[in-house]
Amino acid sequence: MASNSLYDMLVNDSDFSESDDDLEMLKAVTMDEELLDSHERLFLDNFAESPVYLLELFRMRFRMKRSLFLRIQAAVEAHDPYFLQKRNCAGKLGLSSLQKITVTLKMLAYGVAADFMDEYVRVGEITAIESLKYFVKAIVDIFSNEYLRSPNSNDIAKLLAVGESRGFSRMLGSIDCMHWKWKNCPTALKGMYTGHIHEPTIILEAVASYDLWIWHAFFGLPGSHNDINVLERSFVFTELAQGRAPAVNYTINGNEYTMGYYLEDGIYPQWSTFVKTIPSPQGNKKKLFAAAQEATRKDIQRAFGVLQARFAIVRRPARFWNTKMLKYIMKACIILHNMITEDEQDDNGVKDFNYDQIDDSPHVTVLQERTIELMEFIQCHYNIRDRQTHSHLQSDLVKHLWQLHSEL
């Protein structure tokens, strides 16, 4: 405010009104001061030792803790020089990484337009969109190997242990699809991307576990597909078919099985890697199984709900024009979701299960990566799609759950 008053006073002064060079220099100085004031205000509000917004408010505004924000900021700055604050050839100071990352996270978290934050963060519409593009690409490049990975042997041991405690021996998680509306879908593509929702959408196939961690994400197919078409195109069983997935050997009701499975809804095929509910169950055993399966399968729906609640940009219609950018945004949101999930596991109490008591060595062993023969590859595909194994597994789980219920 002081700089603006000084500017007005000098502009109205007759000595300065005759010199255009002096006015231009004064404008540049004023804009630099406003930019510095914006960065300083943002820093004092959120990142100072005694900030205006305390930890709870920071978590609510940015969807993550301050420590995680600073970790992401440091990684992004080191990865991409775009986020470093620097001066241009005219000596004008540019935006700080705090301003660029803040406006990006606000767009992701609230799903607002690019010019919504310009009054507070002092970032224009074009720069905000540019910052969003650079940020989501940096997040995917830096963290995808860790936070979009397939579960390794240790992860599988934990998933199997929790599945055992919930009555579903050797369950790896729940699988389902989510549609993201595409507001700015090009007219030429609307027919291909419009399905049962009667609006253009893009499909996300995901696998989530009890703690809402998303282990598998396949995004980009048009909304005219159904879950079965997406499954045929996705890579969820690629490593299993190629013989590179961790082996899972277990026994249920006296019968041996060699592959883990996912819980899913009724549209999915009857494969040995899926366990479906029983429609219109008859008898107490089947009713108990159906209720348990439908309740446990909600893990993936909860994960979708939390993902959309944390990042409203994937809940509201997408406004970008090309699918490549939308893929980066979706992957970045999933990575940030997993990072927040990991960072807040202790606070949410999802580590109550004592994994140290589980002896997973007889059940989970990582196979050496190799090139399998064609006939072995075909046999793996056949084993995944075996309907008879699916029926036997469902029947054994019905008996297993009833036995556990009787022991309580």
130-159 mean pLDDT: 92
Contact partners, residue 291, CB within 8 Å, separation at least 6? none
DSSP lists the bridge partners of residue 248 as: 364
Of 12-26, 204-218, 243-257, 369-383, the poorest mean pLDDT is in: 12-26
Residue 368: predicted pLDDT: 42
CA distance linking residue 310 with residue 306, whole number of Å: 6
H-state helical runs in 53-207: 55-62, 66-79, 97-110, 118-121, 125-147, 153-165, 190-193
243-264 mean pLDDT: 78
Determine if the pTM surpasses 0.85: no
Contact partners, residue 3, CB within 8 Å, separation at least 6? 29, 30, 33, 34
Q: Which residue has the tokens 């007219």?
A: 187
Residue 61: predicted pLDDT: 86
Strand 364-365 and strand 247-248: the pairing is antiparallel
H-state helical runs in 204-352: 227-233, 238-241, 284-296, 298-310, 323-343, 345-348
CA distance linking residue 278 with residue 350, whole number of Å: 29
**Mean pLDDT: which of 18-27, 150-159, 324-333, 344-353 is highest?**
324-333
CA distance linking residue 97 with residue 339, whole number of Å: 20
64-78 mean pLDDT: 94
241 — phi, psi (to 5°)? Answer: -70, -30
Angle at alpha carbon of residue 200, lines to 191 and 183, rounded to 5°: 130
pLDDT digits (tens, 9 = 90+) for 307-362: 999 999 999 999 998 999 999 999 999 999 999 999 988 665 544 444 344 444 43
pLDDT digits (tens, 9 = 90+) for 360-391: 443 444 444 444 566 666 777 677 888 888 88
CA distances from 98 to 4, 74, 105, 225 (A): 24, 10, 10, 40
Contact partners, residue 338, CB within 8 Å, separation at least 6? 147, 148, 213, 214
Q: Give the DSSP per-residue string, 356-384.
A: GG---TTTEEPPPP-PPPHHHHHHHHHHH
- pLDDT > 70 fraction of the chain, expressed in percent and rounded: 81
Residue 212: predicted pLDDT: 93
Domain ranges in the chain? Answer: 2-146, 148-407
246-255 mean pLDDT: 75
